[in-house]
Structures are given as structure tokens and as C-alpha cells.
Amino acid sequence: MEIERPFGLVVVPDIFDSSIIGDNQSCPRYYYWRHVRGAEIDTPSVAPHFGTSIHSALQMHYLLHDKSLTVEEIMHALTIMMPPTRDEKIAYSTIREAFQEIMNSSEPIHAACMIAFDWAWQDMEGDAIRNRNTADVLINRYRGYYLTEPFTLMEPRENYLEVGFTYHLFGDIYYFGRIDMVVDWPPYGKVPIDHKTSRNLGKSKFLEFNPFFQGDGYLGAARHHWDRVGAICVNVLQTAKTKHGLERFIEPRTDDHIEAWYSDAVDWVSEILERFEKWRWPRDKGGYGGYCTHWGACQFRSLCVSHDYMTVEQCDRQPIPGGYIENRWEPWDTGAITTTVEDLKEGRA
């Protein structure tokens, strides 16, 4: 369905993910700018880019962890992690150089992890906390701390790393997502793991993940696809200026958690669709969601305090302002798992 507004046609979404739903929960006006208008600050935020790059390093780590590091294993991992390119000569040259760097290193897996980080990082300058040096220290500490894992990595590993899924919520509405990793972890069975980078550790950090809307969605996807999925795990890597702590939170989950997740997902998506119908996108003003100070300051804060953008009607009449670009957030369109909540509760494939 399309809606005519002063700035043009708006397509009412039929695909959602945890980020889209979370942005509306935290601040409807943020949702308006980020997902209705597709605006993004012209200077990319370091924090999410650093997190994505650390994810790539961890993916490489688990592709090679406990492997004998044969030529075939290393080349296979590099091929999986290689950034997409249409130029086969560039791809071949890049992988060949990376392979030589790994083979010449006294710590070949660490070298491979940093290559994967660099491919995702793309020479970004970073800041005092999130930069290549921090990543180097953090990944080295992670590999040493978790030298022996309490879980088993299943084969072929690429099938259990970055696992995409799709839920059918209701009507023509779908929920997309991607699980960082699924492992076999006694006594829980299969466990989806979500990697997080954060400045903080400890009990206060744990409370962010209990209840855990994003993670419970992962649980349901994994439970649909594999037998015996009884917990979720959050794998936290601390990125404070002088601290590089590590912590894992693992929580058992039941059918009740899946039912609660589904109910919440339907309610939150229904609220977003109602906002499109009524065209109401109020400013949160730093209340229950706290987006005004999220990551230091919301990227749209200056618009909310400007006399030209205070009401949504004023925003509608304005083009995307200077200092911002149009770069729409798109959910992961992988569709590796398609299911309904009834399937999730029964564990049917």
C-alpha cells in the first residue's frame, strides 16, 4: 500500500526486523526519519561499523577454530569472507595476498581474523575507543580466553554462521533476521549465539538481554530448523578505552518465551502499521527509549529541536536536510527459514 505525502509516495512496509521494531519502540520520530524518509547522517557512525567488523573477525575465527589449517581450509574460509566483487582477477589477487599473509604469520588464525576485520572495516579512521588497534587487542584476547570452548561447532561451519531466517507473522507481514552463530552446547542442545560489542559488562548489561526480543526471535528460528534448542547466549566483547573484558550470558528458554516473543512482535508491528494509518510520529524526548542520548546523541536530535522540524507536518514539507543522505535500512533478505509461531512451538521443520 502507498500513501501520498508532501515529500512523495510512501510504501507501507511489510517486512520488519528487530532494528526496525526497536527504533519505533525507542522513538517514533527516529523511526520516521530513519525508515520512512530513509535519512542517515552523512558521517557514518563508528560504533555499529566497528561491531560489524568484529562480527566478521569472529566469523573467521570460528571458521578456522580447532582446524588443522590446511591450504584447502584456509582458502575455503577466505573465499567465504571475501567481500563481493564482480572482478574475478581482483578476487583472486586479494585472496592470494591474504593467504600469503596468513601463512607467513606466527599466529595464522589471528592474522586471518584481522584480514576479515580489515575487509569489513575498509580503512575507517575510527575513534579513541573503536579502531583497528582495539580490534587487534580484543580479538587476540578473545582467542586466548576462549581457547577451549564449552560447545561444539557443527559442520559444515558456514551453515551455522550468519544464519538468515524469515518468519511469517500475519497477513502479508514478515519478520527477517540473521543469527550470528548456532552451536551444540550441552546440556542445552543447540544454542543460537548473538555477538555484541559494548562498553559495559556485568549485571546491568545482562538485564538488557532478559527479556531479549532480538534473541528470542533467534531462538525460535533455530528451534524451527534444528532439534533440541533450549537456550540463547549473548557473547559480549567490551570495547572500553582501557578495558577489553569478555562475558557470556546464557539463558534457558521454553515454549512460553516463543509465545511471548510472537505476541510482542505482532503487537509492535501492528503499532507501526497504525502509525502509518494515522501518520503520528511523536518525539520521544529521551523518555523510556532514551534515543536522544543513544550512542552519545541521536543522529536526528538537531532536527527535533529545530523550529523547522518540530511537528511531523513540518517534517513532511521539508526535503531531507543538509548533513544527511538517503540510505534506507534494509532487513536481511535471506529467507533461509520460513515458519510460523505454531511451527516454532511444535519444533516442526
Q: What is the pLDDT of residue 285?
A: 59
Instruction: Give the CA distances from residue 302 to residues 22, 57, 161, 238, in Å, rounded to whole numbers and listed in that order.
Output: 21, 35, 39, 30
What is the spatial distance between Cα 64 and Cα 82, in angstroms, rounded to a whole number?
15
Tell me the backbone φ, ψ of residue 268, rounded to 5 degrees: -70, -40
115 Cβ partners below 8 Å, 6+ apart? 60, 78, 81, 98, 101, 102
Q: Does residue 57 carry a pLDDT above 80?
A: yes
Which amino acid is present at 329? W
- Please tell me the chain's helix, strand, coil percentages from 3-state DSSP, rounded to the nearest 5: 45, 20, 35
Q: Residue 26's pLDDT is what?
A: 85
SS3 label, residue 41: strand
CB 164 within 8 A of CB 334: yes
The strand pair at 338-339 and 161-170 is best described as: parallel
**Which residue, 295, 3, 17, 10, is CA-closest to 177?**
17
- Terminal-to-terminal C-alpha distance of the chain: 32
> Are the beta carbons of 88 and 106 closer than 8 angstroms?
no
Residue 136 has pLDDT above 90, yes or no: yes
Cell of 250: 546464557
Kindly list the domain boundaries of the chain, sorted by start residue: 2-42+279-319, 46-123, 157-265
Contact, 276 vs 270, CB < 8 A? no
**Residue 53's closest CA among 122, 112, 99, 108?**
122
For residue 347, pLDDT beyond 50:
no
In the chain, DSSP finds a helix count (H) and a strand count (E) of: 13, 11
The beta-strand segments (E) located in 62-202 are: 161-170, 173-185, 189-198
Per residue in 167-205, pLDDT tens? 888 999 999 889 999 999 999 999 999 999 988 777 666
Res 346 pLDDT > 60: no
The Cα 51–Cα 221 span in angstroms is: 23
The Cα–Cα gap between 154 and 182 comes to: 8
Q: Could you tell me the three cell numbers for 202? A: 556485568
CA-CA distance, 224 to 216, in Å (whole number)?
12
Q: What is the mean pLDDT of the chain?
A: 87
Q: How many residues does the chain have?
A: 349
Q: Quote the pLDDT of residue 32.
A: 95
Segment (H or E) for 214:
helix 213-225
Q: What is the pLDDT of residue 294?
A: 57
What is the value of pTM for the model shown?
A: 0.87
Per-residue pLDDT tens digits for 74-112: 999 999 999 887 788 888 899 999 999 999 999 999 999
